[in-house]
């Protein structure tokens, strides 16, 4: 039943869907109707790690007074039921998305499925009456992107893309300093992101390893970074030229297995990862392998891996800024270096997120003025993507109407502009030519955000 993507094929999904045609897998309609008086009704599709960990348990805990979960849906029935237990909610569980939407009529739909499937839930969710909160990337190719933009216009519903990276305090400080003209007019940016041999390698273990699922790391991962650039620079991207290759993981490995738990190279492989030590992952994935065969601890040297592990791009912005960007996925530590070059100076950050170096409990920015002084600015760190996750949840559920001082709320246009750089980069690698962002959808890049 499992397809090459590690998920159920159409036949498998139909078989599961028919199990669900009888309706609910757990709970009842009266659960839904009885618990929602006066609260916003929220449903979720995709009850994996991010769904449960970012949008499930914390939302129930922090906003239980104003929202009610009315439905959980996943193609993997076991995982949806595990999620229900983790969240401690009383709502029904579905494998049939339309049925969930029709039964529960949520005000808000949270989309946390595999990237390449976001579009169908975003579009259908709006058609069935919900506003959408979708994880990044909004989708994985330009056709799906255009279809989402069209559906939003057609239905009058709203798509929010959860760019949590915008909310971390040090990135907000960068935004503030740039807006205040601390380095004059920004003319170029050097931006280099390093994923380590633990977290970086993890993308090659999972569904992300196939571009048909993730759009490649150009879209899945780098769209986070492209969104930061679009936001910091207050401009949309105009063109991208890129190069990339797969030189370390996948077919490049000297030995391989199916997954770490069953591997015969456990003692010799540096990438051996013992998932059995993580109870949460064991209950979400290992205990639900029977439903879809998905292996969370897949081998990083699988021959089918078709995403790049080394990427570089030159991006030109509508306001004239040039960006030099790279992403490496097998570094000894995780973090990034960024420098904004301006007519009046330079603003730099070197962020270490993991590794054997001393990790400080603050992030530091270095602001150097041309013909002037150097200032070091320390910003305290917080848990959960630098503190961004909790602030983002607050904005969405508790304070949707408070002023958005730092313009951190992102809609479908922001979601589109972030992925279009990645999609353009992917195309550029294929063709060897630069790609104009305006050629991908009907959006025309603007120099200043309206």
Q: What does the binding site for ligand NAD look like in residue numbers (CB under 6 A)?
A: 7, 45-51, 74-76, 79, 112-115, 117, 135-136, 162, 164, 207, 220, 385
CB of 217 to ligand NAD, least distance (A): 11
Nearer to ligand NAD, 49 or 449 (CB): 49
Q: Is residue 65 exposed (0-12), middle (13-18) or buried (19+ Cβ within 10 Å)? A: exposed
Nearer to ligand NAD, 122 or 269 (CB): 122
Three-class SS of residue 368? Answer: strand
Residues 440 and 438: their CA atoms lie apart, in Å, by 6
CB of 109 to ligand NAD, least distance (A): 12
Residue with tokens 């979400």: 284
- E strand spans, 332-391: 334-342, 345-354, 362-369, 374-380
Residues 249 and 186: their CA atoms lie apart, in Å, by 37
CB of 21 to ligand NAD, least distance (A): 16
Q: Are 7 and 114 in contact (CB under 8 A)?
A: yes
Nearer to ligand NAD, 79 or 393 (CB): 79
Three-class SS of residue 314? Answer: strand
Contacts of 382 (CB under 8 A, 6+ apart): 168, 169, 390
Residues 51 and 121: their CA atoms lie apart, in Å, by 14
CB of 231 to ligand NAD, least distance (A): 14
CB of 17 to ligand NAD, least distance (A): 10
CB of 294 to ligand NAD, least distance (A): 7
CB of 135 to ligand NAD, least distance (A): 4
For residue 14, list its beta bridge partners.
none
Contacts of 340 (CB under 8 A, 6+ apart): 174, 178, 183, 186, 188, 189, 232, 346, 347, 348
CB of 354 to ligand NAD, least distance (A): 15
Which of these, 105, 117, 110, 115, lies nearest to 70 by C-alpha position? 105
Nearer to ligand NAD, 40 or 50 (CB): 50
Q: Are 51 and 73 in contact (CB under 8 A)?
A: no
For helices 169-179 and 222-233, angle between their N-to-C axes, nearest 10 degrees: 30
Q: Could you please report the per-residue DSSP string of 128-152?
A: TT-EEEEPSSS-SSHHHHHHHHHHH
Please work out, in degrees rounded to the nearest 5, the angle formed at the alpha carbon of residue 368 by the alpha carbons of 362 and 371.
Answer: 160
Nearer to ligand NAD, 126 or 183 (CB): 126
CB of 120 to ligand NAD, least distance (A): 7
Nearer to ligand NAD, 12 or 320 (CB): 12
Nearer to ligand NAD, 112 or 216 (CB): 112
State the residue number with the nearest CB to ligand NAD. Answer: 48
Residue with tokens 């050097």: 190
CB of 34 to ligand NAD, least distance (A): 26
CB of 94 to ligand NAD, least distance (A): 9
Residue 71 tokens read as: 């439905």
Residues 375 and 260: their CA atoms lie apart, in Å, by 47
Nearer to ligand NAD, 202 or 348 (CB): 202
Strand 108-111 with 131-134, pairing: parallel
Nearer to ligand NAD, 161 or 183 (CB): 161
For residue 298, list its beta bridge partners.
259
């Amino acid at each position: 039943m499992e397809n090459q993507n590690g998920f159920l094929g159409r036949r498998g999904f139909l078989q599961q869907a028919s199990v669900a045609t009888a309706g609910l897998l757990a709970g009842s309609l009266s659960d839904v109707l009885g618990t929602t008086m006066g609260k916003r009704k929220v449903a979720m599709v995709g009850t994996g790690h991010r769904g449960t960990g970012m949008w499930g348990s914390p939302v129930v805990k922090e906003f239980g007074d104003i929202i009610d979960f009315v439905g959980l849906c996943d193609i993997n029935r076991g995982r949806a039921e595990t999620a229900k237990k983790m969240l401690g909610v009383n709502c029904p569980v579905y494998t049939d998305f339309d049925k969930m939407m029709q039964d529960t009529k949520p005000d808000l739909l949270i989309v946390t499925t595999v990237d390449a499937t976001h579009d169908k839930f975003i579009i259908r969710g709006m058609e069935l009456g919900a506003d959408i909160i979708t994880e990044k990337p909004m989708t994985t190719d330009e056709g799906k992107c255009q279809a989402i933009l069209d559906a939003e216009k057609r239905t009058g519903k709203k798509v929010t893309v959860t760019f949590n990276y915008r909310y971390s305090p040090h990135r907000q400080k960068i935004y503030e300093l740039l807006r205040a003209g601390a380095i004059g007019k920004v003319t170029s940016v050097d931006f280099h992101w390093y994923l380590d041999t633990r977290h970086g390698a993890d993308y090659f273990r999972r569904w992300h390893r196939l571009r048909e699922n993730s759009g490649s790391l150009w879209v899945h991962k780098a769209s986070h970074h492209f969104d930061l650039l679009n936001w910091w620079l207050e401009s949309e991207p105009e063109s991208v030229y890129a190069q990339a290759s797969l030189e370390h993981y996948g077919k490049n490995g000297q030995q391989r297995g199916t997954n770490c738990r069953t591997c015969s190279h456990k003692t010799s492989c540096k990438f051996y990862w013992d998932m059995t030590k993580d109870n949460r992952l064991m209950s979400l994935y290992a205990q639900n392998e029977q439903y879809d065969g998905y292996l969370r601890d897949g081998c990083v040297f699988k021959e089918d891996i078709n995403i790049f592990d080394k990427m570089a791009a030159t991006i030109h912005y509508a306001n004239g800024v040039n960006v030099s960007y790279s992403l490496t996925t097998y570094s000894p530590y995780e973090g990034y270096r960024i420098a904004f070059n301006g007519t009046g100076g330079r603003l730099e950050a070197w962020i270490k997120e993991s590794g054997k170096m001393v990790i400080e409990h603050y992030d530091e920015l270095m602001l150097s003025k041309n013909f002037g002084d150097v200032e070091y600015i320390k910003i305290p760190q917080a848990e959960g993507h630098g503190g961004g996750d909790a602030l983002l949840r607050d904005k969405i559920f508790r304070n949707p109407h408070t002023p958005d001082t730092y313009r951190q709320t992102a809609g479908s246009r922001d979601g589109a502009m972030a992925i279009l750089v990645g999609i353009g980069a992917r195309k550029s690698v294929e063709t060897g030519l630069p790609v104009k962002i305006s050629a991908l959808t009907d959006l025309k890049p603007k120099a200043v955000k309206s």
